[in-house]
Chains A and B, each alone.
Chain A
């Protein structure tokens, strides 16, 4: 049976980017379907009835929801090429821990940087930078979080690079000044075709964020 892979997605989604990268790393042919989140398709509502969110990976008609679960699923099913997770259980636990940290801390703090202003934003900015520094420390002197090769934590985190310009403009700060090693890592990742073709242009993301701010009434 021919493999049928569909990705329901939305172009600026940090989460959707992860799955795009994983599919590209494995060389999987798939159909990309752009969702209008103000007018969600019947397919999306059917495939993710609980959250009604993107991204949704549909493999031979069966949905997989939640981006990190999708990345792990892709890695398991197409295991013979470009492994993303380590095979050692302790190393696996370490990468899962950091992916969880990225979702629980970095995503929320980044959101608060562009969604708030004044003192609330100042606090969010401070905590955001602290969390970036922590993850920069975890990277250390390795070329990738996965060591010599691009891996799970790299996939989980690199999408945020496409949002860095937006965070910086909204928060009036420079991520490169605070975390130069992270920027070096991001540029290294962007040299990979799977990443470069999966991430949107930073200016485009910033324009999108400005639209969202207008929509939510945030100056």
Chain B
């Protein structure tokens, strides 16, 4: 019986954060793919409050919410630490992780909305990129974690991969490399890390599914 189980959905950036953390630490796990339109009784039992993925189950005990899961993983398996040891540096890292967590939903709003609502989401995304470029990546660092990725890099994954795919099929242009040179370097560096590169949802498949989801969402809104 697997000691570590992960309930996930192949499209969710929150799920990938957990996958990368487990792989970076070399933790074997059993992955269970959930159909989010038909959630399993087991998922609802393990996450009765939010009913969402990811859920990590360790020795039968569930942990919910991706950041809570990441911190748990980092504490149980201290090899390849994902947070700085110094309390102040850790507080700064946690600040950026919270910022990423608070702002990332606007990226998915880009494909779930249209008209004014979409414009608001686009503005929020653009401002988020400006903050990252101007405040988080200052100091010639290769990654938020320094020479190696850490939890902050993982937390910003939607910017690195999901944003580009969504811009592709919605026709939005929010991220432009020349406007965000530091962020552009970071994205290239982040996506060339083997654990990240080998564990990303297929761009074409994701594009097709999200585009269809967008069409259904917008159709149901107008009816």
Residues of A within 8 A of B (CB): 49-50, 59, 62, 64-66, 69-70, 72-73, 76-77, 89-90, 92-93, 96-97, 100-101, 134
In angstroms, Cα B67 to Cα A101, docked, is: 13
The list of the 6 closest CB pairs from A to B, nearest first, reads A89-B75, A93-B72, A64-B91, A73-B91, A96-B68, A76-B87
Q: Is B76 positioned at the interface, with any CB of A under 8 Å from its CB?
A: yes
Q: Is the CB of B91 within 8 A of A90?
A: no
Since A59-B88, A64-B92 are in contact, a sample of 4 more A-B pairs with Cβ atoms closer than 8 Å, ordered by chain A residue number, is: A64-B88, A69-B95, A69-B98, A97-B64
Q: How close is A44's CB to chain B, nearest CB, in angstroms?
A: 15
How far is A217 from B223 in the complex, measured between Cα atoms in Å?
33
B48 and chain A: residue at smallest CB distance? A134
Most buried by A among B67, B76, B95: B95
CA distance A76 to B91 in the complex (A): 10
Chain A residues closer than 8 Å to B71, beta-carbon distance: 92-93, 96
Contacts of B217 in A (CB 8 A): none
Q: Which residue of B lies closest to A88 (CB)?
A: B75
A80 to B: closest C-beta gap in Å = 14
CB proximity of A84 to chain B, nearest CB, Å: 14
Contact with A101, one of B49, B69, B99 (Cβ below 8 angstroms): B49
Measured between beta carbons, the chain A residues less than 8 angstroms from B90 are 73, 76
* Residue ranges of B at the interface with A (Cβ–Cβ < 8 Å): 49, 58, 61, 63-65, 67-69, 71-72, 75-76, 87-88, 90-92, 94-95, 98-99, 131, 135
Return A218 CB to nearest CB of chain B, in Å. 21
Known: A64-B88, A101-B49, A134-B49. A93 touches B68 (CB 8 A): yes
Task: Return A68 CB to nearest CB of chain B, in Å.
Answer: 8
The smallest beta-carbon distance between A63 and chain B, in angstroms, is: 9
Query: What are 22 A-B pairs with beta-carbon distances under 8 A?
Result: A50-B131, A50-B135, A64-B95, A66-B94, A66-B98, A69-B94, A72-B94, A73-B90, A76-B90, A89-B75, A89-B76, A90-B61, A90-B72, A92-B71, A93-B68, A93-B71, A96-B67, A96-B68, A97-B64, A100-B67, A100-B68, A101-B49
Pairwise interchain contact A73-B98, C-beta atoms closer than 8 A: no
Are B64 and A65 in contact (CB-based, < 8 A)? no
Contacts of B91 in A (CB 8 A): 64, 69-70, 72-73
Is B95's CB under 8 angstroms from A65's CB?
yes
Which A residue's beta carbon lies closest to that of B50?
A: A101
Among B61, B72, B88, B99, contact of A92 (Cβ-Cβ < 8 Å)? B72
Complexed CA–CA distance, A50 and B135 (Å):
8
Tell me the bound Cα distance from A65 to B93 in angstroms: 11
CB-CB under 8 A from A89, the residues of chain B are 72, 75-76
If A49-B135, A50-B99 touch, does A90 touch B63 (CB 8 Å cutoff)? yes
Which residue in A50, A73, A90 is a CB contact (below 8 Å) of B87? A73
Q: Are A73 and B88 in contact (CB under 8 A)?
A: yes
- Bound-complex Cα distance A7 to B95 (A): 17
Contact in complex: B135, A77 (CB < 8 Å) = no
| Minimum C-beta distance from A46 to chain B (A) | 13
Q: How many angstroms from the CA of A64 to the CA of B90 in the assembled complex? A: 10
| From B68, B69, B71, B76, residue with most partner A Cβ within 10 Å | B68
**Residue ID in chain B nearest A49 by CB atoms:** B135
Q: How far is the CB of B6 from chain A (nearest CB, A)?
A: 15
Looking across the interface, which residue of chain A has its beta carbon closest to that of B99? A50
How far apart are A7's CB and chain B's nearest CB, in angstroms? 14
* A90 / chain B contacts, CB cutoff of 8 Å: 58, 61, 63, 72
Q: Which residues of A lie under 8 Å from residue B98 when comparing CB positions?
A: 66, 69
Question: In the complex, what's the smallest C-beta–C-beta distance from A157 to chain B, in angstroms?
Answer: 16
CB distance from A190 to the nearest CB of B (A): 27
Q: How far is the CA of A73 from the CA of B76 in the complex (A)?
A: 20
Q: State A64–B87 Cα separation when bound (angstroms).
A: 10
Contacts of A64 in B (CB 8 A): 88, 91-92, 95
